[in-house]
């Protein structure tokens, strides 16, 4: 009798890919993500009994669980092949519970007879035939420390959300919610906005002089003021036009000569291959993709076997991938581009053993030209991942740098100017990694050579305020402060937008909304530990210790919750309700009852509401302004398309003349006024596979 082994993974795409590599006797099925979770209707945690979580099987998962049970009864062995991180380990553990494999026994609903079933856990970092076969040869036990770390984060976030959100309802407006890590991200954005408002620009001037060799007007070059007398010229040395003009006049009538020439070689090394955070940052900078969209596309590439696992903080690379990269480089680019030995990078994260490799192509020989992908965005992301990996194994780029010091003398006044030249001698890793390099050529000069003056250019400048965060810089800051982990960056950014606490401006940078400012004000004033960067990073470290088996997860929860609960009870009594912006009168008349309408503020911002409330509950969207104006309505032609939300907080695009015009779309319509959208994909349905809240 033939044996049947049931392999369970998270997604149907992953199941399909793995199924291609397994022969007869294997049956691959998907759990469709988590099959158990805390209930949505209540807190689901028994605080009195050591924070015991009460998991349920959601209605949408019940049919699949029943089907998996039936398959497990018929199988001779169950193999859990979920991802090797905390979320994947937790999914595998929940499968043992939901399928009654806890004691490695399962009950058939028909026979009511328990059957002993061997259960194995396998892990891999890429979905290739060799990786799957190797994993089957080396099964391991469930890592319950990783499961505990995932449970701790889930319980901690549930307690904060379910205890703190009602406080915000009472003190600000109903429908708000608070998250442990998301509130820290909101604080960063608000504090940056406050910095920008406090910023006062300062004036400063620079001076450049256009010169050439004495006997020709050709080969002109530019030198910048470097010293005045013997004093270094610094940023704020010249603060006004009068001083700049006085120096420029002296430079017009000066004599110029070369006093020093320095030539040196500079090497620029490639960056490490991608980890989750750097992939999200670079995809945002180069491809204008949001973290959420990046992870959705990376998930598809991983599940279809094109890249290694995309939630990782390790920069390690397998020996096999390094050998293949060297083979490709030698054949495509020649011996000059081969390293003496593969370049190895050191992982900074203390817990990087959760994912042993960086994000790389599973087959480096499959370059972006050779790969066949129907989705253009997937192909662009694969191209980015492939190039970053291949660049990491190419030699440094080599540049020739020339520095020329020029003396300008006008009577007793002397000035030193500096000209810099740069040329590329060897492109190295830049052969595949596109990076801007501005070549600056200087003419052949000799020390003591006299120079011809052509023009002096004084330029006025003003200091700039700190830039608002975009997705790339926010992720970089969160990572630098130890806030969040690879699986959390995309959900953090997605949540603060869906809650309408922040919005993107036309430059794709975050600005806090009125409601976001209020929420941050309440949290920073009354719950400073919740939004403290150091405290949140410390909690992440404790969760890491749970994952390492050095700490009990219930102790971590208790040490946080007990003082938090007492503090919350005091704040309910002492904190006054925050006033939203007062309603503003308008000339608009309610179409239902004829009463005047006023501008009010709610959890999703400002809107028009009938003053006859609660008898009349008529509301309307305000006319769009700024970045929310997406052009004329394609249906009625007179209204404007704006980004709106469903009652559940999902974005869609609709006409601001609703209900007169009922145009609505999940996808952003083309802007007929000529502006492009931000390309962040936030309105798309979340299929990224981000399993952690």
Active site (catalytic) residues: 309
CA dihedral 428, 431, 435, 438 (to 10 degrees): 70
Pair of tokens at residue 677: 């959208």
Structure tokens belonging to residue 285: 């900078």
- What does the block give as tokens for 576? 């006054």
Q: Compute the distance between CA of residue 567 and CA of residue 579 in angstroms, rounded to an integer.
A: 22
Q: 540 forms bridges with which residues in the sheet?
A: none
Please measure the distance between the N-terminal and C-terminal CA atoms of the chain and give it in whole angstroms: 45
Q: How many whole angstroms separate alpha carbon 452 and alpha carbon 254?
A: 10
Distance (Å, rounded) from C-alpha 393 to C-alpha 374? 28
Residue 373: how many CB atoms within 10 A of its CB?
A: 18
Q: Which residues contact 234 (CB under 8 A, 6 or more apart)?
A: none
Task: Kindly report whether the peptide bond that precedes residue 614 is cis, defined as omega within 30 degrees of 0.
Answer: yes
Other beta carbons within 10 angstroms of residue 107's beta carbon come to: 14
Q: How far apart are CA 649 and CA 498, in angstroms?
A: 6
DSSP string covering 3-48: --EEEEES-HHHHHHHHHH--TTEEEEE--S-S-B--SSS--EEGG
Record the tokens describing residue 462, joined without a space. Answer: 């003003």
Residues pairing with 600 in the sheet: 607
Residues 426-451 as b/e (b if ≥16 CB within 10 A, e otherwise) read: bbbbbbbbeeeeeeeebbebeeebeb
Residue 351: helix, strand or coil by DSSP?
Answer: coil
Residue 361 is given by DSSP the state B
* CA distance linking residue 404 with residue 262, whole number of Å: 6
**C-alpha span between 559 and 569 (Å, rounded):** 17
**E strands present in 411-527:** 413-426, 450-462, 502-504, 510-512
Cβ–Cβ under 8 Å, residues 485 and 280: no
Count CA within 13 A, CB hemisphere, residue 283.
Answer: 32
Tell me what percent of the chain is helix, strand and coil, each rounded to the nearest 5: 35, 20, 40
Sign, CA dihedral 283-288-293-296, equals negative
CA-based nearest residue to 405, from 389, 381, 383, 421: 421
With a CB cutoff of 8 Å and minimum separation 6, the contacts of 169 are: 175, 176
């Amino acid at each position: 009798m033939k044996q049947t082994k049931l392999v369970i993974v998270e997604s149907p795409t992953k199941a399909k890919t793995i199924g291609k590599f397994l022969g007869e006797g294997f049956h691959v099925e998907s759990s469709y993500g988590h099959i158990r979770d805390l209930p949505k209707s209540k807190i689901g945690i028994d605080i009195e009994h050591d924070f015991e979580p009460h998991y349920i099987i959601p209605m949408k998962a019940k049919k699949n669980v029943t089907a998996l049970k039936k398959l497990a009864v018929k199988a001779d062995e169950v193999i859990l092949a979920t991802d090797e991180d905390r979320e994947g380990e937790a999914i595998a553990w929940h499968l043992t519970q939901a399928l009654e494999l806890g004691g490695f026994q399962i009950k058939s609903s028909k026979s009511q007879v328990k059957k002993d079933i061997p259960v194995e856990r396998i892990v891999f970092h890429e979905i290739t035939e060799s990786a799957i076969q190797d994993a089957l040869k080396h099964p391991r036990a469930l890592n319950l420390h990783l499961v505990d770390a995932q449970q701790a984060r889930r319980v901690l976030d549930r307690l904060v959300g379910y205890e703190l959100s009602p406080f915000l309802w009472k003190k600000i407006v109903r429908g708000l919610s608070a998250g442990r890590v998301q509130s820290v991200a909101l604080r960063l954005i608000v504090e940056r906005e406050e910095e920008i408002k406090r910023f006062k620009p300062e004036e400063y001037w620079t001076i450049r002089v256009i010169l050439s060799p004495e006997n020709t007007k050709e080969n002109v070059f530019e030198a910048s003021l470097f010293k005045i007398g013997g004093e270094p010229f610094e940023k704020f040395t010249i603060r006004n036009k009068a001083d700049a003009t006085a120096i420029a006049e002296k430079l017009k009538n000066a004599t110029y000569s070369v006093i020093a020439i320095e030539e040196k070689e500079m090497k620029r090394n490639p960056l490490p291959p991608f980890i989750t955070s750097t992939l999200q940052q670079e995809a945002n900078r180069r491809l204008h993709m949001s973290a959420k969209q990046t992870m959705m596309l990376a998930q598809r590439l991983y599940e279809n076997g094109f890249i290694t696992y995309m939630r990782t903080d390790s920069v390690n690379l397998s020996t096999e991938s390094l050998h293949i990269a060297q083979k490709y480089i030698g054949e495509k680019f020649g011996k000059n581009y081969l390293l003496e030995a593969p370049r190895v990078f050191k992982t900074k994260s203390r817990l990087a053993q959760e994912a042993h490799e960086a994000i790389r192509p599973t087959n480096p020989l499959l370059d972006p030209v050779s790969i066949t992908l129907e989705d253009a965005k997937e192909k662009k992301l694969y191209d980015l991942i492939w190039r970053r990996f291949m660049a990491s194994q190419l030699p440094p780029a080599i540049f020739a740098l020339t520095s020329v010091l020029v003396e300008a003398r006008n009577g007793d006044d002397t000035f030193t100017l500096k000209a810099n030249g740069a040329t590329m001698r060897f492109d190295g890793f830049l052969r595949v990694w596109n990076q801007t390099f501005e070549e600056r050529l200087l003419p052949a000069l000799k020390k003591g050579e006299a120079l011809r003056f052509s023009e002096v250019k004084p330029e006025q400048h003003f200091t700039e305020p700190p830039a608002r965060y975009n997705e790339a810089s926010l992720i970089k800051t969160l990572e630098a402060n130890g806030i969040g982990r690879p699986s959390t960056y995309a959900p953090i950014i997605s949540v603060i937008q869906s809650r309408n606490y922040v919005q993107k401006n036309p430059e794709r940078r975050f600005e806090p909304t009125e409601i976001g400012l209020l929420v941050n004000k309440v949290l920073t004033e009354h719950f400073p530990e919740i939004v403290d960067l150091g405290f949140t990073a410390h909690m992440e470290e404790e969760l890491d210790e749970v994952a390492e088996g050095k700490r009990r997860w219930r102790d971590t929860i208790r040490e946080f919750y007990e003082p938090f609960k007492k503090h919350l009870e005091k704040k309910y009594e002492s904190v006054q309700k925050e006033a939203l912006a007062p309603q503003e009168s308008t000339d608009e008349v309610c179409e239902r009852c004829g009463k005047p309408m006023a501008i009010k503020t709610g959890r999703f911002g400002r809107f028009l509401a009938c003053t006859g409330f609660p008898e009349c509950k008529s509301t309307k969207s305000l006319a769009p302004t700024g970045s929310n104006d997406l052009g004329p309505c394609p249906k009625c032609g007179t209204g404007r398309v704006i980004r709106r939300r469903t009652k559940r907080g999902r974005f869609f695009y609709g006409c601001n003349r609703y209900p007169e015009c009922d145009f609505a779309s999940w996808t952003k319509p083309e802007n007929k006024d000529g502006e492009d959208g931000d390309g962040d994909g936030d309105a798309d349905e979340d299929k990224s596979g981000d399993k952690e809240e």
